[in-house]
Structure 1
Amino acid sequence: MRTARWIRAVALAGTAVLAVAGCAIEVEPRVAAPGLPTGVPCGTVTFANSPWSGYEANLAVVSYLAKTRLDCTVVEKDLTAEEAWEALAAGEVDAILENWGRDGLKKRYIDEERVAVEHGMTGNQGVVGWYVTPWVVEQYPEITNWRKLNDYAHLFRTPTSGGKGAFLLGDPSYETNDRALIRNLKLNFTVSVTGSEDKLIEAFREAERNRRAAIGYFYAPQWFLAEVDLVHVKLPPYSPGCDAVPEKVACDYQPYDLDKIANRAFAESGNPAAELVKNFQWTNADQNEVARYLTVDKLSPDEAARKWLDANPDAWQSWLPAD
């Protein structure tokens, strides 16, 4: 995962070339969709890029279609989830392509300030929670019950965890409840921040490979679960409002139907890219496939997007504004 913030702009004007099934075909210039002002150009569109591979998979595919099918100049800004909302509200970002909850930000920017709108679902179901390496569960089946975690905390100790079990976190910008959960559930663990999604994945991978115990924050959709089938720990069940006061949280994470957020002016502008973003919808398996192209196969975003799009033409045709 990149650690430096960057901005990338790629323009493709006029007629574009798209590789499909090993052949080069000519892509006709965009024709305005019915109901849109005739001849509305895409121009420059700015998407947030947040630091997890699933988001980058969404971004790769949407950006590629915007460039090659809608003649857009695409700017991508590396931002944390919170920063992305702030930039979107300020008009510096047009769309966030994967949003996990953020009810407080929705209330502020959508309901109160009215500078942002919900812009359709991604089709992905998000499951956040505590996960352990599978070999540990094979040895100690009770370990997936949070009430038993203290009995096994010694298995998770590291030289830097102060005699407590180490609980792994990834990117420090992720909004998590884990410190509060450890405190409120009276668990003998301490948070250990790895620094990024890539480092978190590598910590779980190495632990499973070397048969060491590892527990930490993780989530689906995520391509890594096809490599190491991490096991979800059962915390006290989520109920609406149980996480309303962050310092008092003592329940599992909310399951999410992931959505997209757009700047209100962009959403209502008639820009064909706004319609593309709204129509974009796929499955967890689709996202994991593109994320794996990016992270494991080391394809560029355009290469990863083109590979998936070439293999799944029926999935994305309906995302484009109708000719």
Structure 2
Amino acid sequence: MKPVRWGVLGNAKFARDHMAPAIHMAENAELVALGTSSPGKAEGWDFCPGLKQVSYDDLLADPTIDAVYIPLPNHIHVEWTLKVLAAGKHVLTEKPISMRAEEIDTIIAARDKSGLLAAEAYMIVHHPQWIRARELVQGGAIGTLRHIDAFFSYNNAEETQNIRNRPETGGGGIRDIGVYTYGSARFVSGAEATDLSCRLIRENGVDVWAEVDAIMEGPLGRATYTAMTSMRLQNRQEVTFHGDKGLLKVANGPFNANLFAEARIELHNGQTVTSERWPAANHYKLQVENFSRSIRTGAAYPCPLEFTRGTQVMIDRAFETAREISW
């Protein structure tokens, strides 16, 4: 299979530390260019010898580049995603790909018109721990699913200039990590949220703590759902799927697998606990390989924009129903 030639649009730390190395390591991909606002000044890219550093516009105009990864600030994701598609290139955009669900409709229309692949960089669904979790829950391993709870927190209070702490760049915990607590529940259960309500705490115009309650309705029936996200609490990551005959915990490293902790799921049935581990799986690399494979073979991409839109609907609804509280 001919490797997909990739460019990265923006010298973001996350791209430099995680996604760009994943593109470089992926079996069916080749990282060839970095687009920056100041070409030639980017540092920390020594892992990819021969990488071209060019302007944003030159990267889009380069006919040798097949696909572009976008790690720019949230509020300009839609703009640059559409520019990449208009330039005739496939595009993988960091989450959240948009600020509102209707913006994803615009991207879907551009995707369909161009015949190119466009997707949000929602890496967890490519990880074998989440694929296995879905198999177990939908296969009846915990009986009838009755409740889901999800937690994701970290503390970046000291990082005042971080884009997550700035309202003008689309910051806030819900947009940054709510995509994981909301989307993982949807992915495993196949359900969609109804009767959703939210309580949140804001600082300087961004949500720093939020709790969402909802009913999840889908092929497995109805289940209650609670999710908490925060940018002001000690690190915590955990998702539990609770059924009438057992429960499944994705509790060790559900969202930052093998960075926060080793990827592991635990199946609890009565007094019996069984676990499965994936100490070496890299979901960023798997994401790139799946994206590149879809480009070259036409295989269905595991996380299409239609799925992404469903999670964005939950995010939109959280803000629409939010009741602001204080610590």
TM-score when normalising by structure 1: 0.31
Structure with more relative contact order (C-alpha pairs < 8 Å, separation 6 or more)? 1
Which of the pair is proportionally richer in strand? Answer: 2
